[in-house]
Amino acid sequence: RGRLTDRDSQAVAMVGTREATSYGRAVAAQLAHGLSKAGVTVVSGLARGVDTAAHRAAIESGGRTLAVLGNGLDQVYPAENRTLASHILECEQGALISEFAPGVPPDAVNFPRRNRIIAGLSRVVVIVEADLRSGALITADFALEQGREVMTVPGSILSRLSAGTNDLLKQGATAVTCVDDILNQLDPLGASIPSADPPLAHGLRSDELSPQEKSVWDALDGDPRHVDELARLLRCGAGDVSASLAMLELQGLARQVGTMVYTRA
C-alpha cells in the first residue's frame, strides 16, 4: 500500500528493540531526522520502540519511510500504530509493505521473514538499540548475507538493551555516532546523497534544538556537570536530561568526561 519511488533505492534501515529506552528513542529520532533532511528513505518494521521513533521522525521531517509488516496488509500491528500507518499513506510519504496475504495474523514466526525484507530494501542497516536476543540482530545477519553494510549505535555497558549493539561493534560493525557516519557510508556505495546539516558546535542555532536540549546546553556553561546535578538545576527527570545529552552528543555539542558527567564539546 502506498507507492515506491526511485529515491527509495537509496534507503537506510533503522531497527532495534521494542523496549527502547529514552536514549534509544532519542537516537532513532535524531538519525531518522538527519537522514530525511538528506533525502534518504528510512525503512523499519512499524514495531514499538525504535521502529516507531524512526518512522515518526521521518514523517515529521518531511521525509519518506517504508514500513515492512509481519502480517497481512489488511491490519496494523501493534494496533497503537494504526494512526502512524495512516499518516505514512495519507501524506504520501512512503508505503506499507508485506509478503503476507491479507488475513495473515502477526505470528512470531513471521517476523524473521519480515526482517529479511527490511534488509533487502536497504543499502545500509543501522541497529540502534538491542539486547543479545533481539530480533534486530536477525536483521543484521540477513543484511550481511545480502551484502549490506551493518552499522550500530554504541550504548552503555551497564544497559542490557545495549548488549547486542555493543557485541556487534566487537564483531566489526561500523559505529554510528552521528548521521554523517551513515551518509558517508552510503556515498562509497554509489548513492548520490547530500551532506546533512553541519555540526552545530560552530554556529549553534537555537531553532535546531528542542526546548529541553537548549536548556541542557545552556546549563553546560562552565565546569563538567553530573546528570543528577543538571536534573536538579533544570527541575526535571534524570532520564530526560540523559536523553537530551545523547542528542547533544550526536550533534557534536556535548561529550562525556566521566561516569554520567558531561561538558560542552
Q: What are 111-167's pLDDT values in tens digits? A: 998 999 999 999 999 999 999 999 999 999 999 988 899 999 999 999 999 999 999
| Calpha distance 222→162 (Å, rounded) | 31
Residue 189 pLDDT: 53
Residue 143: its H or E element: helix 136-145
User: What pLDDT, on a 0 to 100 scale, did the predictor assign at position 208?
Assistant: 63
Q: How far is CA 209 from the centre of its chain?
A: 17
**Looking up cell 508505503, which residue turns up?**
95
Res 202: pLDDT: 40
Joined together, the cell numbers standing for residue 43 give 525503512
Check whether 203 has a pLDDT greater than 60: no
* Cβ-proximal residues to 125 (8 Å cutoff; 6+ apart), any chain: 12, 13, 15, 118, 119, 139, 140, 143, 148, 149, 150, 151
With a cut of 80, say whether residue 193 has pLDDT above it. no
pTM above 0.85, yes or no: no
pLDDT at position 9, please? Answer: 84
Q: What is the fold of 206-264?
A: Arc Repressor Mutant, subunit A (1.10.10)
Q: How confident is the model at residue 46 (pLDDT cuts 50, 70, 90)?
A: very high
Comparing CA positions, the residue from 92, 45, 85 lying closest to residue 64 is: 92
pLDDT at position 69, please? 95
pLDDT for 199: 43
Q: Span 6-189: which CATH code?
A: 3.40.50.450
Q: What is the mean pLDDT of residues 166-192?
A: 85
Q: Is the pLDDT of residue 44 over 50?
A: yes
- Phi and psi at 71, nearest 5°, equal -155, 180
pLDDT reported for residue 79: 94
The span from the CA of 112 to the CA of 129, in Å, is: 17
Closest CA to 154 of 129, 135, 134: 129
DSSP strand pairing (254-258 vs 149-152): unpaired
Please check whether residue 129 is in contact with residue 169, taking contact to mean a CB–CB distance below 8 angstroms: no
- pLDDT at residue 188 in the model: 54
Q: Which three cell numbers stand for residue 38?
A: 538528506
**Helices 136-145 & 110-120, crossing angle to 10 degrees?**
50
The pLDDT tens digits for 224-245 are 888 888 988 898 888 778 878 8
DSSP, collapsed to helix, strand or coil, labels residue 139 as helix
Q: How much is the mean pLDDT over the chain?
A: 87
Domain borders along the chain are 6-189, 206-264
Residue percentage of the chain with pLDDT more than 70: 92
The predicted structure's pLDDT at residue 197: 45
Query: CA separation (Å) from 4 to 10, 45, 60, 81?
Result: 12, 16, 19, 21
Q: Do 6-189 and 206-264 show the same overall fold?
A: no
As a whole number of angstroms, the distance between CA 134 and CA 118 comes to 15
Separation of alpha carbons 96 and 94, rounded Å: 7
Point out which residues pair with 224 in neighbouring strands.
Answer: none
